[in-house]
Structure 1
Amino acid sequence: MGIYFKKGEIRMLADLLGSVNRIKINRNDGVFTIFEAVVNSIQSDSKNILVELKTEKDKQSSFEITDKKEKDVLTEVIITDDGYGFNDENFESFKKINSTHKLKLGGKGVGRLTWLKVFENIEIESTYKQDKKYFFRKIFFNLYDEVKEVELKELPFGDQKQIKTTIKFKKPKGDFLEKFPITAEDLGEKILYHCLSYLIEGVFEITIKDNKNEYRCKDEYRSRLENDIKKDTIKINKEEFDIIYIPIDKKKLSKHEISFTANKREVYRRGMSGELLKSSFEIDKKEKYILAFIRGNYLDNSVSEDRTRFFFPDEDGGLFLSEKEIINSVSNKIITIFDKSIEIIREKNKNKINIFLNENPYYRAVYKYNETIVDEINSRTTNDEIEEKFEKTVRQKLKEIKTNIKTLELNGNYQEKFEETIEKIDVLKQLDLAKYIVHRKIIIELFDKILEKKENDKNYYYEKDLHNLIFPMKKYGEEVDYNNHNLWLIDDRLSYHTFLSSDKPFNEFNENSTNKERADLVILNNLISFSDKEVEELHSNVIIVEFKRPGRDSLIEYDLNTQIYKYIEELLDSKIKTKNGKRIEIDKNAIFNVYIICELSSELVKTLRRANYKELLEGQGYYFYNDSYNTLIQVFSLNKVLRDVKLRNKIFFKQLGVL
């Protein structure tokens, strides 16, 4: 029969309820209580640690009518180990809140308080050896009785049992149940990575069992992780850290992560920085992500009592390291260590950018100037996001140019700074020019589509679309930005004008007219300076553009002989007032250039020849010069407009690679 020692209620030496209430644990982190107990077992020199998950069917769900399978809920977690056990020294420490018993191991003396944050009752049974004798101790631990030693006895010689300690975590609290792992694999994975530093160096096994399966952490580590591990040290400012890099199959890990540890235990994880580290690595022909465990005295000394967070400064660059500084340093180190995998990612990024540049070639000059954009994208980056990267570079260059100009001084480094500024300006000029060339390519393709639709749909009234493509209808030149019209489709010189009327009645802009007729386009250019109190400018060159629809052959002769000359008469010796109030006079000897753009039907060609029109040398059009009106009239087809504009721009498209 054993020898019994004093037993009964033993009060903790501090306010237990208040201490537990002060501990903040996220409802997703209830499993930290099990981590605490497992680490205690490891630190007790245990060689075999068993974690058992007890579950039962949810009684609540049995009253619900549902086709779903009954849900398992956690009822109890039992941890058994063969370590030192609850000997007198360990038991005395257990009773003290903020005990310094494990200070050298990083113990805060509050880990067991988290047990009562997540579970209602804890039962402990421990068979241990002390002073060459064997003892058995049983303890109840809860918020109401605090620590209650219900049994303590010495085991008689020959009646020694196997040394072991069993801790039963009973009645998990509802707030933590939903996210608490209830299968051996789920809990095993979490324990594996939380205690990885111990597993790498230790010779113990942690086995997790549920009602059906078991999971062995050491076996999993050896079979899946051990051969791929890389170790390194890194110095950030003056602090030194050890890092363990573990490639993990992307099915098990969804992104590259840094595990922040304190005293060999994982506290939390953070994603890595940089776009290159948003893609998985190709290692041994498998897609994997890197889990980097970082540890060091700085982290050991910065962890909170409940081991759920670190006390980092909010800002970088101070006396103490911030979390962001650590993340950036570790991320950069990984890029160096896994350089082969990074190079594969860079090649994929280059291909992605080249595809983007084929569609947006005007950014080629920017890319040549700043190829680091390759490191700023990932496999999921969209074309819009890539474009924003290029535009950000452009904005940065503009800012640098302005700064350089402001700070440019005629001193020793003047020439160097001047050349640097000119180089940046040159890149931006190339970008703007390339963008404009691509814009022209798109407009020409749109013009082509209008003609294609015209051929396939005889009822298509294309004049309106064509007119708006070249210049918006019912607008004056002052109202339309240079980039929002395409007069260059007809003639590049038309873009440089001082007055333009698009589908506007003559009496609206001609002070001498009562005519409400509208020419499609009236354009004034070729300025001649003229000093007059009432008239600010005198024009000697007037352009009229008319878009004519096919099927109106009977009207063409009338248009040529009557309508066009009527328009000219309206404009000759007239005074025009622009929308902005500027007054312009047209010289009575002005030269008129008339463009009639239409479909050259056989009947129209006959009409033109009868009227003594000459065929253009390149074909697809006719011209006639009227001495009396000082007017050159050109009638040509839509296809000629398209052909000519393609030829004029071909060399630019070829140079840009968008031909």
Structure 2
Amino acid sequence: MATIVTDVAGKLRNLKLSQNDGVLAVFEATMNAIHAIEDRKCHNGKVTITLKRAKEKSVIGDNGLVAPIQSIEIKDNGIGFDENNFKSFLKSESTYKAARGGKGVGRFTWLKVFDYVIVESTYLEQIGEFKMRIFRFENSDNPISSETIEDAPAEEVGTIIKLCGINSEYINSFPIHLENIADQVISHHLVSFVDKSCPEFVIVDEDFDGNSIQLNLNKRFQNDFLIDTDADSFVLENIAFEVAFVRLKALNLTADHKLFLCANDRVVTTDELKKYFPDMYKPVYNTESGLYYNLYVLVKSVYLDHNVNNERTQFILPEKEGAAKSYLISLEEIRNLTVESIYNFLEPDINSIRKEKLDHIQDYVLREAPQYRSLLKFQKHIDKVKPGLSSDKLDLELHKIKNKISEEAKKQLNGILKIDEPLSDPDRIEEYKKNFSDVVAKVNAVGQTDLADYVIHRKLILSLFEKILSKKENGEYEYESQVHNLLFPMKNDSESIDYNHQNLWIIDEKLSYHKFLASDLPLHENKQGKDGSRPDILVGFDKPVAYIDKKSSVYSSMVIVEFKRPMRNYYSANQDPVQQVINYVEEIQDGKAFDPAGRPINVTKNCKFFAYIICDITDKIQSSLRRYSFQKTADEAGYFHFNTEMNVYFEVISYDKMLMDSQQRNQILFDKLGIKYS
């Protein structure tokens, strides 16, 4: 009695096959059928798949209840289970079909998914003598049973594999509709269907009473799917890869473009092409045929044949380049060169889609986001943007491109900096120059984008500032706290707020380059000073010296900023802004002021104080300024005064003047960027 030389139960336990992959067991049988036909050198090869259904309709289908599939038969007119094939079948992980990529484990998927298998095979024993071998294959201590060998007529050469009873683990995910199974067979064996020598494939759907309907898969593929095919190839690390392009008729407006990596003439992994080509978000129109199509791309190579797992569900290759030194080539490298090949193939058909998308992106950049203008020359990245995006989503994609270019530049620059040997080879010198120029272009583009981002930020801040100064619907004006928080957030200091979150440049660009700043924080360590002294903004500067300990810094100049509510026209005695500034200066000069960390604010004997009083110059303010002998500025839009006794220079700036001056200072930046201030 013949038997398999392996522990079948252990083999099945170690076989990894997900619940959604149960149909692969059928594909293993159909691929064996193709190989059997090839081995017989049969020019009229035929594979028939018969779905045998139960009597009762108990499974919910697309159009109501359908009868479940009880068994599946795969019949071929190939060479049959002769002695060589049968010996290979009995040996676990046989290398008999290694040249075709056979792993010697495919038949175990039958028992993983189905309860048992019946094999009936007629073969040539010797010239003029034919035999029929019948046996049962199951998961038991005696996996091969009920074996018989009988004489058989020659016209019946071939094999029938009966896969009986779908296991409960796979039954719920197993396809139930004839068309669905047919299309999955076509997709899995796409390499064979594209080949003109493909055997005839027929799938039969048979009910319990023997009534049936059938589909010819070759005709279905040729008439309902295929438009045409084309081919290309590329070489990686001296290993050849073949690329087949298959244009399939689009049955609707849903994109179904796919990239298949194949091993041993079988599809192993499937990727959506729109992941690499966002322009392919719908079927592509071919001007020559006048048809919309979906593109299937198949990649074959001996390298892929040798690096696939036993179940042929994934490749045993690193995903990313450089992830594993033991492999020459990663899947990422294979896909990248395949994508280049696809790009060249598709170019005539997707030019119109790409042009429409590029026009949309350029229009958005010119009208709304000029900071991204320098990125438009990086065509490879722009091509990956999906067409038809809204402004918000497009902005996000362009920001991602900027970051991607920055990462590429850093990686290239690190590679250039690692070159330590002299460059004597002219080719290497040219390559070095090219790489260096590429890095410079990327760094410049990212820098221009960052600068443009900041210029636009300034434009938006000035627009917001102008809005804050406007009268509200209720006829009142915003409190000074709104202006204060816009320029520098209240209750914060220079340690808690970074450069990008303060807008002191509206007052004076130099204020951004301070050593110490406190915003609406008490001058006194115990929080109590003259009238609760708390200047709106206090800024400290020091002279450049060899070394200054931060904890014992002595400031040579200080700036005090005091805000008043827009259009405020009433001030009590202790709210007079000039007097408030004088009080602050006195406390600092007397050594009674502390920074937010609780350290004393030490100033030099001749420390210069600059005081900005930001307010609307109302009648009340003008009256106060006259008492302190303030003079009008040359443009008569503000006032100034120098208190020689306290070494304080005062400048009173109206909100209108501060806004106008800042607009004028930044207008050249807006002009260069091509944006208008309004």
- Length-normalised TM-score, structure 1: 0.75
Give SS of 1:257's match: strand
1:290 counterpart letter in structure 2: L
1:394 aligns with 2:406: yes
Judged with a 3 Å threshold, the aligned counterparts in structure 2 of structure 1 residues 247 and 498 are, in CA distance, closer, same or farther, namely same
Give SS of 1:553's match: coil
Give SS of 1:518's match: coil
Task: Please list the CA deviations of residues 54-87 of structure 1 after superposition, one character each: whole Å capped at 9, or x if unmatched.
Answer: 233778889xxxxx95564221113344x25757
Map 1:239-250 onto structure 2 (within 5 A): 239-248=239-248, 249=250
For 1:233 and 1:519, how far apart are their aligned partners in 2? 73
Residue 335 of structure 1 corresponds to: 343
For 2:522 and 2:571, how far apart are their aligned partners in 1? 24
For 1:38 and 1:528, how far apart are their aligned partners in 2? 83
1:73 aligns with 2:68: yes
For 2:306 and 2:88, how far apart are their aligned partners in 1? 22
- CA displacement at 1:47 relative to structure 2: 3.9
Task: Please list the CA deviations of residues 524-559 of structure 1 after superposition, one character each: whole Å capped at 9, or x if unmatched.
Answer: 669699xxxxx9757577655331354543649982
- CA displacement at 1:468 relative to structure 2: 1.7
Give SS of 1:455's match: coil
Q: Structure 2, unaligned stretches of length 5 or more?
A: 546-551
For 1:409 and 1:321, how far apart are their aligned partners in 2? 27
Aligned to 1:584, which of 594, 600, 603?
A: 603
For 1:461 and 1:230, how far apart are their aligned partners in 2? 69
Moved more, 403-412 or 385-394: 403-412
User: Is the Cα contact below 8 Å between 1:475 and 1:504 reproduced in 2?
Assistant: yes
Aligned to 1:294, which of 286, 294, 299?
A: 299
- CA displacement at 1:188 relative to structure 2: 0.9
Moved more, 93-102 or 162-171: 93-102
User: Is the Cα contact below 8 Å between 2:469 and 2:566 reproduced in 1?
Assistant: no
Residue 237 of structure 1 corresponds to: 237
Give SS of 1:446's match: helix
2:136 counterpart letter in structure 1: F
1:583 counterpart letter in structure 2: N
User: Is the Cα contact below 8 Å between 2:588 and 2:601 reproduced in 1?
Assistant: no
Judged with a 3 Å threshold, the aligned counterparts in structure 2 of structure 1 residues 219 and 525 are, in CA distance, closer, same or farther, namely same
For 1:349 and 1:628, how far apart are their aligned partners in 2? 66
- CA displacement at 1:652 relative to structure 2: 0.7
Residue 187 of structure 2 corresponds to: 193
Task: Please list the CA deviations of residues 26-56 of structure 1 after superposition, one character each: whole Å capped at 9, or x if unmatched.
Answer: 1333323322333344433354433221233
Give SS of 2:174's match: coil
Residue 259 of structure 1 corresponds to: 261
User: Is the Cα contact below 8 Å between 1:487 and 1:495 reproduced in 2?
Assistant: yes
Residue 114 of structure 2 corresponds to: 119
For 1:361 and 1:404, how far apart are their aligned partners in 2? 31
Aligned to 2:53, which of 52, 55, 69?
A: 55
Residue 485 of structure 1 corresponds to: 502
Residue 468 of structure 2 corresponds to: 450
Judged with a 3 Å threshold, the aligned counterparts in structure 2 of structure 1 residues 436 and 103 are, in CA distance, closer, same or farther, namely closer
Give SS of 2:176's match: coil
Task: Please list the CA deviations of residues 118-156 of structure 1 after superposition, one character each: whole Å capped at 9, or x if unmatched.
Answer: 32333455677888979784724132572434573556x
Judged with a 3 Å threshold, the aligned counterparts in structure 2 of structure 1 residues 508 and 288 are, in CA distance, closer, same or farther, namely farther
- CA displacement at 1:656 relative to structure 2: 1.8
1:656 aligns with 2:673: yes
Aligned to 2:536, which of 520, 526, 530?
A: 520
Residue 458 of structure 2 corresponds to: 440
Map 1:20-169 onto structure 2 (within 5 A): 21=12, 24-26=15-17, 27-42=19-34, 43-44=36-37, 45=42, 47-56=45-54, 70=65, 72-81=67-76, 83-84=77-78, 86=80, 96-97=90-91, 111-125=106-120, 137=132, 139-143=134-138, 144=142, 146-149=144-147, 152-153=150-151, 166-169=160-163
Judged with a 3 Å threshold, the aligned counterparts in structure 2 of structure 1 residues 556 and 238 are, in CA distance, closer, same or farther, namely same
Residue 466 of structure 1 corresponds to: 483
Judged with a 3 Å threshold, the aligned counterparts in structure 2 of structure 1 residues 25 and 433 are, in CA distance, closer, same or farther, namely closer
- CA displacement at 1:230 relative to structure 2: 0.9
Judged with a 3 Å threshold, the aligned counterparts in structure 2 of structure 1 residues 651 and 565 are, in CA distance, closer, same or farther, namely same
2:534 counterpart letter in structure 1: R
Judged with a 3 Å threshold, the aligned counterparts in structure 2 of structure 1 residues 78 and 364 are, in CA distance, closer, same or farther, namely same
Which one has a bigger Cα radius of gyration? Answer: 1
Moved more, 201-210 or 279-288: 279-288
- CA displacement at 1:190 relative to structure 2: 1.8
Residue 5 of structure 1 corresponds to: none
User: Is the Cα contact below 8 Å between 1:127 and 1:161 reproduced in 2?
Assistant: no
Task: Please list the CA deviations of residues 249-289 of structure 1 after superposition, one character each: whole Å capped at 9, or x if unmatched.
Answer: 49687453223130x3x141243899644552734277755
For 1:353 and 1:313, how far apart are their aligned partners in 2? 35
1:546 aligns with 2:563: yes
2:197 counterpart letter in structure 1: G
For 1:126 and 1:291, how far apart are their aligned partners in 2? 36
2:50 counterpart letter in structure 1: E
- CA displacement at 1:186 relative to structure 2: 1.4
User: Is the Cα contact below 8 Å between 1:246 and 1:291 reproduced in 2?
Assistant: yes
For 1:84 and 1:138, how far apart are their aligned partners in 2? 14
User: Is the Cα contact below 8 Å between 1:137 and 1:149 reproduced in 2?
Assistant: no
Moved more, 385-394 or 95-104: 95-104
User: Is the Cα contact below 8 Å between 2:258 and 2:272 reproduced in 1?
Assistant: yes
Map 1:203-282 onto structure 2 (within 5 A): 204-210=199-205, 214-248=214-248, 249=250, 254-262=256-264, 264=265, 266-271=266-271, 276-277=276-277, 279-280=279-280, 282=284
Residue 174 of structure 1 corresponds to: 168
For 1:372 and 1:480, how far apart are their aligned partners in 2? 38
Residues paired across the two proteins, number = 630
Task: Please list the CA deviations of residues 154-189 of structure 1 after superposition, one character each: whole Å capped at 9, or x if unmatched.
Answer: 56xxxx987775443222222222232222111111
RMSD (Å) for aligned C-alpha atoms: 5.2
Task: Please list the CA deviations of residues 100-133 of structure 1 after superposition, one character each: whole Å capped at 9, or x if unmatched.
Answer: 7767766566544443333233345567788897
- CA displacement at 1:221 relative to structure 2: 2.0
1:21 counterpart letter in structure 2: L
For 2:342 and 2:150, how far apart are their aligned partners in 1? 53
Q: Percent identity?
A: 26
